[in-house]
Amino acid sequence: QYPDLFFTINDHEEVDLIPGGSGVKVTYDRRTEFVKLLEEYHLSLYSQQVRAICSGFASIVPARLMQLFTWEEAEILTCGSPLINLADLKKHTTYSGFTGPDDQTIKIFWDVLEAFTNEQRSRFIEFAWGRSRLPRPGTWNKPLGLTRLGTDPEQLPIAHTCFFNIELPPYDNFEKALKLIRVAVDYGTGSMMLG
């Protein structure tokens, strides 16, 4: 017998795991029953919320169709791929104040993103757009905008997340661009503008 253990759980208030559980002590013989009830309690704690999420999701994608997909496929269809495809991002990028994709600063910018790990690229997308993934192919409705920012190559880039736009200083070398873009992406440093 466990002298201070009853068939209850204290979850901001005492909850009986069986009818009258607050008066039933956990004995050695009933220990596995107690553990099973405790596990069931925790596993069903948010059932109502999970049902609501499933109901909302089913209003977009019929539940019977979800059986056709693996969880990875469903994730990509609803959230986009966790892998940042730079070729796809380049195809969906516009330039303002630069001569185009052949501009020195733009070449350096893409070299920086090539040097980034996928996790860093994902953080860059979040810095630029407020979300960490690109849209799935065929669903792009907004390109990444790269806009020239002044004449000082020592500045941090500025993000306008509502517009998926980055104001990019005229970086003239890779190391400087890598350092300043990483600082902006990793810390924001007051340069991320929600606009």
Res 1: pLDDT: 62
Q: For residues 91 and 140, give the distance between their C-alpha atoms in angstroms, rounded to a whole number.
A: 10
Burial of 38 (0-12, 13-18, 19+ CB in 10 A): middle
Q: How many CA atoms, within 13 angstroms, populate the side-chain half-sphere of residue 124?
A: 25
pLDDT computed for residue 66 by the predictor: 87
One digit per residue, the tens of pLDDT, for the chain of length 195 reads 677 899 999 888 899 999 999 999 999 999 999 999 999 999 999 999 999 998 998 887 888 988 899 988 888 888 888 999 999 999 999 999 999 899 999 999 999 999 999 999 999 999 999 999 998 777 888 999 999 999 999 999 999 999 999 999 999 999 999 999 999 999 874 444 444
Go through 14-34 and write b for each residue having 16 or more CB atoms within 10 A of its CB, e for each that does not.
eeebeeebeebebeeebeeeb
Among candidates 148, 186, 185, which has minimal Cα distance to 168?
148
Catalytic entry in 15, 58, 162, 175: 162
Q: Is 54 a catalytic residue?
A: no
**Spatial separation of the C-alpha atoms in residues 144 and 85, rounded to whole Å:** 13
